[in-house]
Amino acid sequence: MHNLSKLASALLLGAMISLPAVAAKSGTLVTVNGVAISDNVANAFLAEQEAQGTPETPELKNAIKEELIRRELLAQEAKKMGLDKKSDVAAQADLARQAIFIRAFIQDYIKKHPISDEQVKAAYDRVKAQMGGTEYKVRHILVEQEADAKLIIVNLKKGEKFEDLAKQSKDPGSREKGGDLGWSSPANYVKPFGEAVTGLAKGKFTETPVKTDFGYHVILLEDSRPLTPPPFDQIKPQLAQRLQQEQIQKLVIDLRAKAKIQ
């Protein structure tokens, strides 16, 4: 299964959570040294401020006008110095222009391919099924070699405390907490780890090392309790956003597969 890089995913998400569409409006707002600044540019700037929660007021519009004048003056000076001809500056301008096109395309695609309530509800049902009906409070000790994990198990059987032995774990997040991973659903762990957790009785530890891609684990189940998933309406927006991201990621993968790249 293909996966986009974290960078690509971040770029796509940034494009999805972008500025609202700006209605076209012809006309010139102001002219600076013979260069016209259109009303469309002012509207785009206004939409950006409104998206950040700033209410539209006459003062805001005037501030935007003054800011656009300042920007145009500085841009004109940059061009006089030939900075727009420098390769690194031109490359940055190309990237910015490209980002605008990507944002517009993704907004249009999402509008034409909306996520339905049925899709979101199906995703919610899948999440519930993956979570299961129980969550577990777990500790673990992670080591590189199987022999080390076996020795830890021997020492546990001799009566040594799990918290003390956890100091040799290579998991920095839990090592200083006696191996404590807190409460979680088995679905949140890699498969061998999750299966080992569900197979343990309360207060028991794994008597054979559990191998994952991270190394060898010794796992202790401290407690378990019924797991109540959050209500559908509470996580519906997050699920819809995730489905949109997955939809865009699939689109990019399909485009990549069809593209002629040399």
- What is the extent of the structural domain holding 245? 105-132+230-257
Task: Tell me what pLDDT residue 127 has.
Answer: 86
Query: Quick one: which of 17, 12, 37 has its CA closest to 255?
Result: 12
Task: Tell me what pLDDT residue 1 has.
Answer: 31
* Residue 206, number of CB atoms within 10 A of its CB: 20
Tell whether 202 is covered by a domain: yes
Task: Tell me what pLDDT residue 40 has.
Answer: 92
User: Does residue 169 contact residue 179 with C-beta atoms inside 8 Å?
Assistant: yes
Can you give the three-state secondary structure of the chain, one letter per residue? Answer: CCCCCHHHHHHHHHHHCCCCCCCCCCCEEEEECCEEEEHHHHHHHHHHHHHCCCCCCHHHHHHHHHHHHHHHHHHHHHHHCCHHHCHHHHHHHHHHHHHHHHHHHHHHHHHHCCCCHHHHHHHHHHHHHHHCCEEEEEEEEEECCHHHHHHHHHHHHCCCCHHHHHHHCCCHHHHCCCCEEEEECHHHCCHHHHHHHHCCCCCCECCCCEEECCEEEEEEEEEEEECCCCCHHHHHHHHHHHHHHHHHHHHHHHHHHHCCCC
Task: Tell me what pLDDT residue 18 has.
Answer: 44
pLDDT band at 229 (very low <50, low <70, confident <90, very high): confident
User: Does residue 142 contact residue 170 with C-beta atoms inside 8 Å?
Assistant: yes
Per-residue pLDDT of 145-197, as tens digits, reads 999 999 999 999 999 999 999 999 999 999 999 999 999 999 899 999 999 99
Q: Are residues 122 and 162 in the same domain?
A: no
Tell whether 18 is covered by a domain: no
What is the biggest distance separating any 2 CA atoms in the chain, rounded to whole angstroms?
A: 87
Summarize the confidence of residues 226-248 as an average pLDDT: 93
Structure tokens at 172: 């920095």
Give CA torsion, residues 3, 8, 14, 20, to 10 deg: -90
Q: Are residues 184 and 55 in the same domain?
A: no
pLDDT band at 74 (very low <50, low <70, confident <90, very high): very high
Task: Tell me what pLDDT residue 15 has.
Answer: 45
Summarize the confidence of residues 234-249 as an average pLDDT: 94
Tell whether 139 is covered by a domain: yes
Q: Are residues 155 and 111 in the same domain?
A: no
Q: Are residues 116 and 246 in the same domain?
A: yes
Please tell me the pTM assigned to this model: 0.61
What's the CATH code of the domain at 197? Answer: 3.10.50.40
Task: Tell me what pLDDT residue 213 has.
Answer: 95
pLDDT band at 11 (very low <50, low <70, confident <90, very high): very low
Task: Tell me what pLDDT residue 218 has.
Answer: 98
Long-range CB contact pairs, 34-38, < 8 A, 24+: 35/72, 35/76, 37/68, 37/69, 37/72
Say whether pLDDT at 9 is over 60. no
What's the CATH code of the domain at 72? Answer: 1.10.8
Share of the chain above pLDDT 70, in %: 90
Per-residue pLDDT of 15-44, as tens digits, reads 444 444 444 456 999 999 999 999 999 998
Q: Are residues 203 and 78 in the same domain?
A: no
Tell whether 4 is covered by a domain: no
Provide the mean pLDDT of the chain: 89
pLDDT band at 129 (very low <50, low <70, confident <90, very high): confident
